[in-house]
Structure 1
Amino acid sequence: MAAARWSPAAFLALLLLLLPFAPSPARAATPGKSPSSSSTAVFQLQGAVYPIGHYHVTMNIGGPAKPYFLDVDTGSDLSWLQCDAPCQSCNKVPHPWYKPTKNKIVPCAASLCTSLSPNKKCAVPQQCDYQIKYTDKATSLGVLIADNFTLSLRNSSTVRVNLTFGCGYDQQVGKNGAVQAATDGLLALGKGSVSLLSQLKQQGVTKNVLGHCFSTNGGGFLFFGDDIVPTSRVTWVPMARTTSGNYYSPGSGTLYFDRRPLRVKPMEVVFDSGSTYTYFAAQPYQATVSALRAGLSKSLKEVSDVSLPLCWKGQKVFKSVSEVKNDFKSLFLSFGKNSVMEIPPENYLIVTKYGNVCLGILDGTAAKQTFNIIGDITMQDQMIIYDNEKGQLGWIRGSCSRSSKSIMSNFP
């Protein structure tokens, strides 16, 4: 959903760096071709939950290809770049604004335009206008365009594929140019047909499978395709329909603290890499806070910290979560028999620059969320797999702070 990412008050971003391209010429993708199981693209990530607040990837777009930093968001469908079309309200970004040409504009009658807005009337038939509203009231307004993305695959080939995305010329995140953005735009990897992942599948480049691994030490990796998905030890659950949108959801989970049920109603859960922190609805949030407070050592005192709403200070200044994690207990979300996600203290705490430890699970009612969001903090040091081919979500714990070449050895 990327709500916090583009808010002027709490802008957070994550960087993903594209793996070096092979020197061989890029081949064009063949629409409709069935993707090979070995057609997988792997990208290195940059960023962290705190203090950066995001992970991003470098995508090479256009001809000649130019690099753009894109915030990775599994909670939305339309990717977009800040765009000089001309720009009406854009941020300062790491690279020059993308400048489209008329021959790249997608017409209103195009199928992806129709799927994005099924009941849309074409005010201008030659172009497909869009407007996206995020949960923090930020918006992106623009037109759809199609341009080449150059991707390096694990089989050592390079592919050039024409993909549709948004050319955002009006971003409502502050006065024009006043907000410095850490990324050039958004990489949307949701379930919709306009998602880049769905387009890669339709054009025969990769299967409709993605995964990411965010390191608690910063960085990590992202992949499209299924040939590095572990063959064992993965916890799999069927994707479930949500009442609040077409999100990636493992369904309703039962919440436990220190292996004891918190006696709250089953929680509708979604996985969203566009959210830095995890959000619980009112009842599970209050139950979690009460359980934490009841079990804490008297050496920890609640303290005000501008970083997050609920923080504690110790008898000394903390430098890392490892120094204080033994004072906290694990949470667990059970989605059925043998389908449990453990949330250890490392996956819900941060240590701020002030030396306090803070709870990275927030009250979703403040953001008017009716469901529960598993954000980046809780997905750290796990490979999270979104398998749209088989309709399932998976996770497996392991180190994410290593090169992509060692992925298979770390997740057997």
Structure 2
Amino acid sequence: MLQKLPSEVYKMTIFWFLVFSAHLATASSVVEVQDKDPRQKKEGMQLKLYHVKGLESSLSTSPFSFSDMIKKDEERVRSLQSILANKEGVSNSVTTASSDKLKGPNLLTTPLKSGLSIGSGNYYVKIGLGTPAKYFSMIVDTGSSLSWLQCQPCLIYCHEQVDPIFTPSTSKTYKRIPCSSPQCSSLKASTLNAPSCSNATGACVYKASYGDNSFSNGYLSQDFLTLSPSEGSSAFVYGCGQDNQGLFGRAAGIIGLANDKLSMLAQLSKKYGNAFSYCLPTSFSQPNSSLSGSLSIGTSSLTSLPYKFTPLLKNPKIPSLYFLGLTTITVAGKPIEVSASSYNVPTIIDSGTVITRLPEAIYNALQESFVKIMSKKYAQAPGFSILDTCFRGSVKGMARVPEIQLVFRGGAGLALQAHNSLIEIEKGLTCLALAPTANPISIIGNYQQQTFKVAYDVANSKIGFAAGGCK
């Protein structure tokens, strides 16, 4: 999710109800988190990253369908486009790093899983909050700054989630952050909404609104964050949501990993370093689906694989988003027939968008090259929603699928194999997992990032890619 500009038509009655509300009440449960070898503490620690479909739920809700995912993905893309339309363009200059010396030798890694089973096409981690720690399934989002989760007593509304809702009163270390705090003052930059103050308690009230009309309102809070039984942060700042509505599936909330001072990355950077990496496991029953994912926070993850790096482009108006320079796309080793100037559009890499979007000129040239090769072996089929290039057959049964390469500045890139470029919508129907957009913007989605290790060296303004990162 990405924050959108404040709206005049926002639910003011809900907001003022929060401002004058009282303290919260009770309940939660523990989910097991695996700890690594104790020796790893010196070098770091790893947490698993999951696609949502890997989390079994006993909730009596209908399964998350591919159509649902496409609908939510379209809302996400419109949100990104809305943000860019209201901001100045991206500068093509590269951010100069303040220092090449990476601090923080520790590395924190957590499991990262698919989110399909909790109603999201994105990925989630299990984090612990409070003392004693209660664990929650949180969507990982590189496009969001403020982290938040639903909190009792849910004064206005909490959507259905797979975990018991967090009860702040059960935590010995929970605190509401006062309006006079610097963290409260930072909310405008992080959420694009000005904070307010509760007259009853003096607590800072946040409003996180998103371009798809999803939102979370509640109290800016602080508590102990647990990322493994042996690693955590004693003063983690997050939103304790009392009114949470929108396209969050059945996750408890969002972990923000954008480039912003209130993001989880920034808050943990003093201990681990201003960098993180992840490997997204495959989803939708694709080949190699047994691979596990991970989210690593810390500079130690930057040296674990032979990355190829591309500069992180600077946008002073939207500094929290991660922009790259897309320079070339090839199909079966040959550049697609499109002018070099067609690539001169803002290009965002985003964990919260599923299907990669390309400007129409680039997409049409890519589609033509891809179909020319694939149609010789496989019968074409009608399109599905935004996916207009489809074939008869299964991904697993399709041999010799032409490789698509997305090449970025400096030569770094993503060499897309069949499980990155094709998606099996239903049995016997497989489509190209990229889509066009009429807007001058490219978004590198999480489907194309699957099984690659993607490293965000924020301290030195570069992003790296390494194949075969999931194990």
TM-score, structure 1 length as denominator?
0.77
Find the residue that maps to 2:400 and give its secondary structure: helix
How far 1:37 moved relative to its partner?
3.8
Distance 1:395 1:68, change over 3 A: same
2:400 corresponds to which residue?
A: 326
Say which of 207, 211, 215 aligns to 1:131. 207
Distance 1:324 1:185, change over 3 A: same
Residue type of the alignment partner of 2:180: A
Which of 135-144 and 327-336 deviates more? Answer: 327-336
Asked if residue 343 in structure 1 is aligned to residue 413 in structure 2, the reply is no
2:110 corresponds to which residue?
A: 43
1:362 corresponds to which residue?
A: 435
2:217 corresponds to which residue?
A: 141
Q: Deviations over 1:297-320 (max 9, x none)?
A: 2532222446x5325242xx42xx
Asked if residue 262 in structure 1 is aligned to residue 337 in structure 2, the reply is yes
Asked if residue 385 in structure 1 is aligned to residue 455 in structure 2, the reply is yes
How far 1:123 moved relative to its partner?
4.3
Partner Cα separation in structure 1 for residue 281 and residue 296 of structure 2: 15
Find the residue that maps to 1:197 and give its secondary structure: helix
1:20 corresponds to which residue?
A: 35
Asked if residue 193 in structure 1 is aligned to residue 258 in structure 2, the reply is no
Which of 69-78 and 346-355 deviates more? Answer: 346-355
Asked if residue 70 in structure 1 is aligned to residue 85 in structure 2, the reply is no
Give the total of aligned pairs: 362
Say which of 196, 206, 213 aligns to 2:279. 213
Find the residue that maps to 1:19 and give its secondary structure: coil
Find the residue that maps to 1:255 and give its secondary structure: strand
Partner Cα separation in structure 2 for residue 209 and residue 322 of structure 1: 35
Residue type of the alignment partner of 1:249: F
Partner Cα separation in structure 2 for residue 313 and residue 328 of structure 1: 14
How far 1:160 moved relative to its partner?
4.1
Distance 1:169 1:240, change over 3 A: same
Residue type of the alignment partner of 2:35: P
Residue type of the alignment partner of 1:116: L
Say which of 269, 282, 290 aligns to 2:360. 282
* Structure 2 unaligned blocks of 5 or more: 4-30, 42-100, 283-288
Q: Which one has the bigger strand percentage? A: 1
Distance 1:245 1:262, change over 3 A: farther
TM-score, structure 2 length as denominator?
0.68
Find the residue that maps to 2:222 and give its secondary structure: strand
Task: Output the aligned Cα RMSD.
Answer: 3.3
Q: Deviations over 1:330-382 (max 9, x none)?
A: 2332324x3343333332211123331122212344xxx64211111111111
Which of 102-111 and 213-222 deviates more? Answer: 102-111
Partner Cα separation in structure 1 for residue 37 and residue 131 of structure 2: 17
Say which of 388, 411, 425 aligns to 1:310. 388
Runs of 4+ with >4 A deviation: 48-52
Q: 2:308–2:412: 8 Å Cα contact kept in structure 1?
A: yes
How far 1:163 moved relative to its partner?
0.5
Q: 2:359–2:437: 8 Å Cα contact kept in structure 1?
A: yes
Q: 1:106–1:128: 8 Å Cα contact kept in structure 2?
A: yes
Say which of 82, 87, 105 aligns to 2:176. 105
Q: Percent identity?
A: 25
Partner Cα separation in structure 1 for residue 194 and residue 413 of structure 2: 42
Residue type of the alignment partner of 2:108: A
Residue type of the alignment partner of 1:113: C
Distance 1:120 1:343, change over 3 A: same
Q: 1:242–1:268: 8 Å Cα contact kept in structure 2?
A: no
Distance 1:49 1:331, change over 3 A: farther
* Structure 1 unaligned blocks of 5 or more: 4-15, 27-33, 403-412
Find the residue that maps to 2:415 and give its secondary structure: strand
Distance 1:395 1:248, change over 3 A: same
Partner Cα separation in structure 2 for residue 158 and residue 279 of structure 1: 37
2:311 corresponds to which residue?
A: 238
How far 1:22 moved relative to its partner?
8.3
Q: Deviations over 1:135-162 (max 9, x none)?
A: 3232222221111112339xxx534422
Q: 2:105–2:273: 8 Å Cα contact kept in structure 1?
A: no
Distance 1:48 1:358, change over 3 A: farther
Q: Deviations over 1:250-286 (max 9, x none)?
A: 2343333332143141242111111222122333233
How far 1:170 moved relative to its partner?
1.7
Distance 1:135 1:359, change over 3 A: farther
Distance 1:134 1:290, change over 3 A: farther
How far 1:48 moved relative to its partner?
6.7
Find the residue that maps to 1:193 and give its secondary structure: coil
Q: 2:325–2:347: 8 Å Cα contact kept in structure 1?
A: yes
Partner Cα separation in structure 2 for residue 168 and residue 370 of structure 1: 35
Q: Which one has the bigger helix percentage? A: 2
How far 1:387 moved relative to its partner?
0.9
Q: 1:22–1:158: 8 Å Cα contact kept in structure 2?
A: no
